[in-house]
Structure 1
Amino acid sequence: MSGSPPRTGEPQTAGDRGPEAGRGARAAGRPLVHPADGNALLIWAFWQVAAYIYMMLAAPGRTDAPILDRLTPWDSENFIAIAQYGYDGPPDMPDAPKLVAFFPGLPLLLRVLSTVIPDYDLAIVLVSFVASAVVAVALARLSESYREGTGTWTVVAFFLSPFAVFMLAGYSEAPFLALALPAWLLARRGRWEAAAICAALASTIRITGLFLAFGLAVRFLVAENGLRERGWRSAPWLVLPAVPVALFMGYLWARTGDLFAWQHAQAQYWGRYAEWPWQVFLNTWERSVNEEVLRTSYREEMIAAGVLVALIAWRVVRRDWPDVAYLAPQAVALLVMSSFYMSVGRASLLWWPLYLSVGLTGSRRPWVFMAYLSVAAPVMAINVGNFTTGAWVG
């Protein structure tokens, strides 16, 4: 009901606040620096220190590669290749056609940064470094918007999550979240135009930006400070995140004659093509049995897939339709549009309703939070060590 408080551990929807609350907050104004910001940045800073210490301790006997090289393998190399050479890739790259699988936002940013930071490895790691700080602050503020005093709990839950190493690495998760989380927070505050702009920028980085836009559109329809307060005048803004995707697809059409060249490249080079969900699970299980080196990684992927399904089911039970609208397309992309589970664990960083629930519940029931950390934190440390010494972890 509109005036009732949220249940323990459950995010309160924007509509629960009512239009008067939204107008009152706008009238009173908000401080530029939120009280939760300091704690969020302290958590981020000490997590960075701890991760680098562990990275150094995990290296002896496993790798002697420089730190930047250890933080920029695989996808990072592809982003850098696009930034330097465009989608043709370097002349000696035999699999350059795969580069169209990557959206242009991060490579464009690296190209701009190269005017002041010519070392692309350093530039992409710095992007994640700065973006992860933005993520810490935005996540804390988002959590505080549901219940005051929970920001610290939620940020700790996020940075000690099993795949947090990708907030260090030169990957797209940190810059995407640095735009997506503010978009979600702005929407909760009824600032739909600004939210749409952030989501559009996020869409230049990952296709997940479209899923974000879908979640924002549903929030606009159900929230008190959305359609009921604003009418339809803000609705056209919510189409904005589709524009970068359409432009990229248009570029691919002009380049290759294939609007969906990015998806077809993923199918060709990474096995991302549609299968029945049970077959995807069986394929992953078979890999976990037969590929001894990657056995643990595949089982982590299966656990992450289970967490995503459970999270969506719980949000459906709670009738949190914006969360469902954001998460469900990810489940289709990760658990159906792929021949086996790949990067599901890494994608878990994008499921902020999960970390909000952990933080909100943990603030009331610390034993739940401690139970979460007892599992998540050791896996996070292991994955930091594995990823930065050359092992694939998602």
Structure 2
Amino acid sequence: MTETQQAKSDADQPENAPKSRWERFVQPGDGTALGIWFFWHVATYIYMVLAAPGRTEAPLLDRLTPWDAENFITIAQYGYAGSPGMTDAPKLVAFFPGLPLLLRDLHWLVPNYDVLIVLVSFVGSAVVAVALSRLGNSYKEGAGTWTVLAFFLSPFAVFMWAGYSEAPFLALAIPAWLLARRGRWEWAAVCAAFASSIRISGLFLALGLAVMFLVAENGFRANWRKLPWLAVPGLPVVAYMIFLKVTVGEWMAWNSAQAQYWGRYPEDPIQALVNTWNRSLEESVLQTSYREEILAAFVLVALILWQLFRRQWADFAYLLPQAVALLAMSSFYMSVGRASLLWWPLFIGIGIAAVRNRWTFMAYVAVAAPVMMINVGNFTTGAWVG
């Protein structure tokens, strides 16, 4: 067929010709997002290997599955009673059951729990890349790729391939947000429910979705009969609290465990900031990490104020409870940096700014990427918990 014949053939096709099943499933930008995800993994694995000499001799897999990963695996294997002889088993109730249950259900497929939890994060982060690209493009065409780049180059991106809960949570939470923006409230609620089975942050997500439902044109005014679906994300949390009441005797045992083992209890926000700064002076090994926590806290506050100024009520409702939990419900800042991975309005904002001005994005990369690699080295050599 000549080019002229081909052009005529293309012109004869109706503008709204039905798309193939593949075209309906795959969207522009998905391949680029997965490319970023893949090569980011390659780069971080290389750096993890290069950072090890003189710092750790631990096997490669052990460097990806420390601390929280060990707790998730213990729950999957033995339940919340812990392994035989485990003296601090009561702390396990601080971890929600969604990820351990997933590990238990998939154990028949991958017998090694360490490999399995890393694979869960690996696949989950791929879902995050595609969903974040689509979400970014839904705010501004062309912002998706920049949003994904900003996310995977962020200072705390190491937790997207470690055996932690960030990747599986975001693999459900970001699609929930995207589905809600498209008016598919039932599916958004279902995704959010699975997310809340993994982290209490799922309740913050549910609040953001509820506010979006109230203010969006495709929300309450057009679909008020779907209002009951907004209660679905809270069901896994209620179920877990009932389980704790029956087995431990306390509805909020997960919160009590966090207070006892991690110092997460209500504190004056100013005092929590002072405590964190003092820790950065006292502990030389973790000095950098504590100061990163402080910087992350300031970024969160600035982000919330920015959403308030722009009247982005759903984003504001999602982020504000996180600030309360992280900055006022702990005696010092802990895991604030890790939690920054959950602040997708931040990365979308960076993506939109990159579309408008590439130099803005280059300035972000110049700061974020080196810190990210330092954190990869520290985390995988046991010098930092996160």
Using structure 2 for the length normalisation, give the TM-score.
0.94
- Could you tell which deviates more after superposition, 288-297 or 254-263? 288-297
The one-letter code matched in structure 2 to 1:196 is: A
In structure 2, how many angstroms separate the alpha carbons of the residues matched to 1:59 and 1:329?
Answer: 38
Matched, 1:367 2:365: no
In structure 2, how many angstroms separate the alpha carbons of the residues matched to 1:67 and 1:318?
Answer: 45
Cα shift readout 1:125-183 (whole Å, capped 9, x = no counterpart): 00000000000000000011111111110000000000000001000000000000000
Native 8 Å contact 2:121 2:163 kept in 1: yes
In structure 1, how many angstroms separate the alpha carbons of the residues matched to 2:342 and 2:28?
Answer: 24
Q: How does 1:60-99 map to 2 (within 5 A)?
A: 60-99=53-92
Aligned match for 2:182, one of 189, 201, 205: 189
Q: How does 1:288-367 map to 2 (within 5 A)?
A: 288-367=280-359
Matched, 1:134 2:127: yes
Tell me the equivalent position of 2:51: 58
Superposition misfits of 4+ residues, deviation over 3 angstroms: 27-30
Tell me the equivalent position of 1:15: none
Alignment RMSD = 1.3
The one-letter code matched in structure 2 to 1:317 is: F
Q: How does 1:166-185 map to 2 (within 5 A)?
A: 166-185=159-178
Tell me the equivalent position of 1:36: 29
Q: 1:31, CA displacement in angstroms? A: 2.4
Specify the SS of the correspondent of 2:187: helix
Native 8 Å contact 2:67 2:385 kept in 1: no
Q: How does 1:75-224 map to 2 (within 5 A)?
A: 75-224=68-217
The one-letter code matched in structure 2 to 1:177 is: L
Q: 1:229, CA displacement in angstroms? A: 1.3
Aligned match for 2:275, one of 283, 289, 293: 283
Tell me the equivalent position of 1:269: 261
In structure 2, how many angstroms separate the alpha carbons of the residues matched to 1:389 and 1:151?
Answer: 33
Tell me the equivalent position of 1:14: none
Matched, 1:227 2:220: yes
In structure 1, how many angstroms separate the alpha carbons of the residues matched to 2:375 and 2:279?
Answer: 19
Cα shift readout 1:264-290 (whole Å, capped 9, x = no counterpart): 000000000000100100110111111
Native 8 Å contact 1:383 1:393 kept in 2: no
Tell me the equivalent position of 1:388: 380
The one-letter code matched in structure 2 to 1:69 is: D
Native 8 Å contact 1:127 1:175 kept in 2: yes
The one-letter code matched in structure 1 to 2:339 is: A
In structure 2, how many angstroms separate the alpha carbons of the residues matched to 1:145 and 1:292?
Answer: 44
The one-letter code matched in structure 1 to 2:330 is: S
Specify the SS of the correspondent of 1:293: coil
Native 8 Å contact 2:140 2:352 kept in 1: yes
Specify the SS of the correspondent of 1:240: helix
The one-letter code matched in structure 1 to 2:78 is: Y
In structure 1, how many angstroms separate the alpha carbons of the residues matched to 2:268 and 2:313?
Answer: 25
In structure 2, how many angstroms separate the alpha carbons of the residues matched to 1:62 and 1:256?
Answer: 40
In structure 2, how many angstroms separate the alpha carbons of the residues matched to 1:180 and 1:383?
Answer: 24
In structure 2, how many angstroms separate the alpha carbons of the residues matched to 1:257 and 1:324?
Answer: 35
Specify the SS of the correspondent of 1:233: helix
Identical columns (%): 71
In structure 2, how many angstroms separate the alpha carbons of the residues matched to 1:294 and 1:53?
Answer: 24
Native 8 Å contact 1:213 1:238 kept in 2: yes
Tell me the equivalent position of 1:5: none
Native 8 Å contact 1:87 1:96 kept in 2: yes
In structure 2, how many angstroms separate the alpha carbons of the residues matched to 1:173 and 1:305?
Answer: 18
Tell me the equivalent position of 1:260: 252
The one-letter code matched in structure 1 to 2:150 is: A
Q: 1:393, CA displacement in angstroms? A: 4.6
Native 8 Å contact 2:280 2:288 kept in 1: yes
Cα shift readout 1:214-268 (whole Å, capped 9, x = no counterpart): 00000000000101111x2111001001000000000000011100000000000
In structure 2, how many angstroms separate the alpha carbons of the residues matched to 1:193 and 1:293?
Answer: 47
Native 8 Å contact 1:71 1:388 kept in 2: yes
In structure 1, how many angstroms separate the alpha carbons of the residues matched to 2:132 and 2:385?
Answer: 24
In structure 2, how many angstroms separate the alpha carbons of the residues matched to 1:116 and 1:133?
Answer: 20
Using structure 1 for the length normalisation, give the TM-score.
0.92
Tell me the equivalent position of 1:21: none
Unaligned segments of structure 2, at least 5 residues? 1-15
Specify the SS of the correspondent of 2:286: helix
In structure 2, how many angstroms separate the alpha carbons of the residues matched to 1:150 and 1:207?
Answer: 29
Q: 1:196, CA displacement in angstroms? A: 0.1
